[in-house]
Amino acid sequence: MDKSVILDTLTDVFRKVLDDPAITLTPETTAEDVENWDSLNHVFIVVEVEQRFGIKFQAAEMEELKNVGELVDLIERRLAKS
């Protein structure tokens, strides 16, 4: 899957979970940049991402991500294993 398609899908997930159709994501976006991206919503973003892409994150992977770009890379790597 193309990185831009992954980013589009991620944007849709964020918009649904955070109830905000105006959210835009770039590879540099971090949690501070997005209103309401708190720990509770983060939990649901992660599991919704898993469902949408049909992947599962390993225990430690999520902790090291610094921004949306790294999440896109991680998803791309997961999908490549299929």
- List interacting residues with other proteins (CB under 8 A): 16-17, 19, 39-41, 43-44, 47-48, 50-51, 54-60, 62-63, 78, 81-82
b/e sequence 18-38, b meaning 16+ C-beta within 10 Å? beeeebebeeebeeeebeebe
CA distance linking residue 30 with residue 51, whole number of Å: 22
Please say which residue, 28 or 43, places its beta carbon nearer to other proteins.
43
Least distance (Å) between residue 42 CB and other proteins: 9
Please say which residue, 26 or 51, places its beta carbon nearer to other proteins.
51
